[in-house]
Chains A and B, each alone.
Chain A
């Protein structure tokens, strides 16, 4: 199962799901901000949220895992 990874360096501004939630492909999961642009990071495929690896305010590197899906 593909995890939700950060598409670029940025700051987590919102977490839109809780552990156990069902998500569909392209559902926004986390909002991150980079260069004053806030953007949703979407689920790469449908699944259940197993673990959220970040909190609001965290700075994340590109490709780092934000949410584990199963």
Chain B
């Protein structure tokens, strides 16, 4: 009888906390969103499943490890993959190998729009401080407004790892919702005539320019914001691998196989931070609301800045390029293009919008570097 009692004591059921079943439901919602709604499935599926698994009592996936016990599998992935920045930086290698800076090089003015669309980062930062978050937490929440998943993870792991689950999920879910969040804000700030402004086709960009660009940007960013060096280095290495055409095998690996491997590790790493006892607090809801504030202000900041630029430009730019500065690549550029076409059938700004879109990625990396160097 005693043995039976001892056995029962060691089952998961006997050790269940109230938070665990709630987190199973949260995990199931992510899995459902990934499979049924096709919302960022590459991330939400592994994250959601990991959330369910780490909340299994006595499962040991997060064991810290010691003399007699090996480290838990998910903790291992988190500790050596995410805490060391390896995984988010490797994702950036792949992103670099998939990014075409051509539209930005052809129209360097759009770099300013990529910077203006970081407005939400700072708005959410101050909003977070007002809601009682600490400075490192506020930096991690603010960076959600950059609409860049790996950068959000990089910043949070460095500054406030205890809220990683909340910031990562907030960033990725709002990125998937860019086509819903942005249009009403843009329409409120622009007239149909402004949205229909047509733009001259972009000039062709030479291979030499495309090779020199990542080198030049990496140099400038690293010198000004050294804390951004890991992200920008990997991003630009990936990019120069692709643009040079000299290492096709490596480029293909970075774009596909390596990217897929690190994406799985990223999903598990983020999911493993979502332990019920840590995750189920009011702060998570606050992070979610602040994330939306961040996205909205970034969109508005970009559009307003584009309109201000038009006061000084002889050849007007379409203000929709401003909202594309939100670096959700290429969703934000697609939204701009679609709204442009709605306003004027002869308005084709998809490629133009890619300029501020990729500039936004650089802008978010710079913002993250500033935050990390100031708050750490």
Which A residues are in CB contact (< 8 Å) with B330? 35-36
Q: Which of A11-19, A38-46, A51-59 is found at the contact surface with chain B?
A: A38-46
**A62–B201 contact, CB under 8 A?**
yes
Partner of A8, one of B345, B346, B351: B351
Q: A8-B201, A62-B201, A63-B201 are in contact. Are A35 and B345 (CB under 8 A)?
A: no
User: Is B350 engaged at the interface, CB distance under 8 Å to the other chain?
Assistant: yes
Contact with A along B323-366 (1 / 0, CB 8 A): 00000001001100110010001101011001000000000000
Of A35, A39, A42, A62, which is in contact with the most chain B CB atoms at under 10 Å from its CB? Answer: A35
CB distance from B335 to the nearest CB of A (A): 10
User: Is B35 engaged at the interface, CB distance under 8 Å to the other chain?
Assistant: no
Contact with B along A21-45 (1 / 0, CB 8 A): 0000010100000111101101010
Cα A25 to Cα B250 in complex, Å, equals: 48
User: Is B202 engaged at the interface, CB distance under 8 Å to the other chain?
Assistant: yes
Cα A63 to Cα B354 in complex, Å, equals: 18
**A26–B348 contact, CB under 8 A?**
no
Which A residues are in CB contact (< 8 Å) with B346? 26, 42, 44
Partner of B345, one of A9, A36, A42, A62: A42
Number of residues on chain B facing chain A (CB within 8 A): 14
User: Is A47 engaged at the interface, CB distance under 8 Å to the other chain?
Assistant: no
Which B residues are in CB contact (< 8 Å) with A42? 345-346
**B334–A7 contact, CB under 8 A?**
no
Which A residues are in CB contact (< 8 Å) with B354? 35
Shortest Cβ distance from B201 into A: residue: A62
- B290-307 contacts to A, CB under 8 A, are none
CB distance from A24 to the nearest CB of B (A): 11
Partner of B201, one of A7, A28, A36: A7
Which B residues are in CB contact (< 8 Å) with A9? 351
CB distance from A34 to the nearest CB of B (A): 6
Which B residues are in CB contact (< 8 Å) with A34? 350-351
Contact with A along B10-40 (1 / 0, CB 8 A): 0000000000000000000000000000000
CB distance from A19 to the nearest CB of B (A): 23
**B350–A39 contact, CB under 8 A?**
yes
CB distance from B203 to the nearest CB of A (A): 10
Cα A9 to Cα B351 in complex, Å, equals: 9
**B201–A40 contact, CB under 8 A?**
no
Cα A63 to Cα B348 in complex, Å, equals: 12
Which A residues are in CB contact (< 8 Å) with B351? 8-9, 34, 62
CB distance from A69 to the nearest CB of B (A): 15
Shortest Cβ distance from A41 into B: residue: B348
Given contacts A9-B351, A35-B350, A37-B337, 9 further A-B contacts (CB under 8 A): A8-B351, A28-B345, A35-B330, A35-B354, A36-B334, A37-B338, A40-B345, A42-B345, A42-B346
Cβ contacts A to B, 24 pairs, < 8 Å: A7-B201, A8-B201, A8-B348, A8-B350, A9-B351, A26-B345, A34-B350, A35-B334, A35-B350, A35-B354, A36-B334, A37-B334, A37-B337, A37-B338, A39-B341, A39-B348, A39-B350, A40-B345, A42-B345, A42-B346, A44-B346, A62-B201, A62-B202, A62-B351
6 smallest CB-CB distances across A and B, nearest first, come from: A7-B348, A8-B351, A62-B201, A42-B345, A26-B345, A37-B334
